[in-house]
Amino acid sequence: MRFLLVEDNTELAAAVVERLMLDGHVVDHAPDIQTASDFTATTSYDLILLDIMLPDGDGRTFLSRHRQQTGSTPVIVLTARSEVTDRVTLLDLGADDYMVKPVDFSELEARCRAVMRRRGGVAQNLLRLGDLRFDSLSGTLKLPDQDIQLRPRELRLFEVLAQTPGHVFSKSTLVERLFSYDEDVTDNAIEVYIARLRRHLEGSSVRITTLRGLGYKLEVT
């Protein structure tokens, strides 16, 4: 998944980015509202982690504007304020969840997973596709005759494809979802990960189909 972290504390931002990237996510960091607005104007994100007190304004202004512009991206607010009235205001403005600083990284990861499940209308970590089960928490493909542990980038690619079976994703879209601005990659990188997933899916009723000139889609036969 591709996340946007809006946080001006460089040490905290670096720690959050490192932790989430170890889990296989792509994370872009914006230190202020203007940079965050520039990012969201050109990039589609799966989740936004938003600080409130920022150098060029209040994160609540960004949140309100994001929702008014029909932005449906889930938002978890990171705030130093713990008063009930502050939390109620954030939720009323459109926040999906909030965490009071200092954050516990394990809890942050769990809250990210929970928000993403709610966004996809899924109550649990287990997804069933034909004779295959996918455990997003452990990153495991459960095939009829074996379990396969996916590497972080394989896991995130499969998550993207499995969210909407039958939907065609272009290479450029997948690059955007799997790699940050700081990473120098080409479309060929997607071919490598697609080939790995296809090998893992052999023997199951799930396959990844190539549509020449268009991209890839996941199908259940």
Residue spans per domain, the chain? 2-119, 126-220
What pLDDT does residue 118 have? 77
Instruction: Judge if pTM exceeds 0.85.
Output: no
What pLDDT does residue 89 have? 85
Structure confidence by residue, pLDDT tens digits, 84-98: 888 888 888 889 998
Structure confidence by residue, pLDDT tens digits, 20-50: 988 888 899 999 999 999 999 888 898 999 9
Structure confidence by residue, pLDDT tens digits, 122-164: 545 788 899 999 988 788 999 988 999 999 889 989 988 988 8
User: How many other C-beta atoms lie within 10 A of the C-beta of residue 44?
Assistant: 10
CATH of domain 2-119: 3.40.50.2300
What is the C-alpha separation between 47 and 33, in angstroms, rounded? 16
Q: With respect to CATH, is domain 126-220 assigned 1.10.10.10? A: yes
